[in-house]
Amino acid sequence: MDKDRIAGSAKDIAGKAEDAAGDVVADARLQAAGRAREAAGTVQNLYGQAKDAARDATDAAVNYAKDTYKNAYENSGDTLRDGSQAVSKKVRDNPLGALMIAGGIGFALALLMTRQPRRPPPQRWRYYG
């Protein structure tokens, strides 16, 4: 529980008591002061509740992220194993297609990794006359 909630509840109770005392004594100023203190206590209590809610939401998000990361890390080996098994099954089922795909990937990588030879700059004729 947040300290603002505790202080707000205390102000709220004190304001209600002050308002009741103003009713008994028939003092309008005392009643107004009691109502003002009660309103301030209510606002402070609501502020404390909002802080608690924000803290709880943050904690829940952090815990969710930790759990998700932990599960993803633990299951990554299974996912990799399942993927490699699926690829090996496809290669066994269609070896020619797998060979064509591997050749195409190799050709594309070769094109990407080689660069065109530099051309010498064009000759410009200069007139020295």
Backbone angles phi, psi at 48, to 5 degrees: -65, -40
Q: pLDDT at residue 83 above 70?
A: yes
Give the Cα separation of 71 and 63 in Å (integer).
12
**Amino acid type, 23:** D
pLDDT in tens, 98-120: 899 999 999 999 988 887 777 77
Distance between CA 10 and CA 41 in Å, rounded?
7
Planar angle of CA 119, 125, 129, nearest 5 degrees: 155
Mean of per-residue pLDDT scores for the chain: 83
Between CA 42 and CA 21 the distance in angstroms is 19
Q: Is 41 exposed, middle or buried (0-12, 13-18, 19+ CB in 10 A)?
A: buried
Q: Is 26 left (phi over 0), alpha (psi -120 to 50) or beta?
A: left
pLDDT tens string 37-75: 888 888 888 888 888 888 888 888 888 888 887 777 777
For residues 75 and 81, what is the distance between their CA atoms, to the nearest angstrom? 10
